[in-house]
Amino acid sequence: MKFWKQLPYGWKVVFAFVFFFSTTLGFAYFKARDTRPSIPIEALATTPTEANSWKGHPKVVYFWATWCTVCKAYAPILEANLKFLPKDTMFLSVLESEDSDEMKEMFANLSKDSSRPLYTADYRMLKEWRVSAYPTTLFLNGEGKVVFADSGILSPIGFWIRTFLLRFF
């Protein structure tokens, strides 16, 4: 403890950040090890050509719902996070599918307004991909294996670290 007391305050802050991000990264990695879906993420694609274009690319898959207030609050942060995506990494926005006319109308409007493609997932797909809370962000390597799985809001630094580390898994 004597060593810690003698450290300057700035170094203590650096150690705290390193410890925090290492811990959250470890949790995301171990949570991802339990995610082994039998349905490939390419099942979300609207055409076989689109599904083939996804193969071999690292992917960030963002599961969310229209009724989720955390998802709405996270939207501006997510837009900032997406600026950190490497060129070869794909971003897939996946909306929880509800079978209602209101949901279908909302989905049509969101699809028109979004610059990124929007996909829907039914209960079976969400269960296979172990989505139990919204928002859930999954980081997949080029082979489609889930490397990191996070629920909730990701900081820009945490998002960047995960996308950077995808190259090595």
Beta bridge partners of 139: 60, 148
Total structural domains within the chain: 1
Domain span at residue 13 reads 2-168
Task: Pick 143 or 116 by higher pLDDT.
Answer: 143
User: Looking at residue 110, what is its pLDDT?
Assistant: 58
We report the CATH number of the domain holding residue 148 as 3.40.30.10
Residue 4 clears pLDDT 90, i.e. is over it: no
* Residue 20 DSSP SS3: helix
Q: How far is CA 163 from CA 12, 29, 61, in A?
A: 26, 13, 12
Paired tokens of 125: 């797909």
Full-model pTM:
0.85
Mean pLDDT along residues 27-43? 89
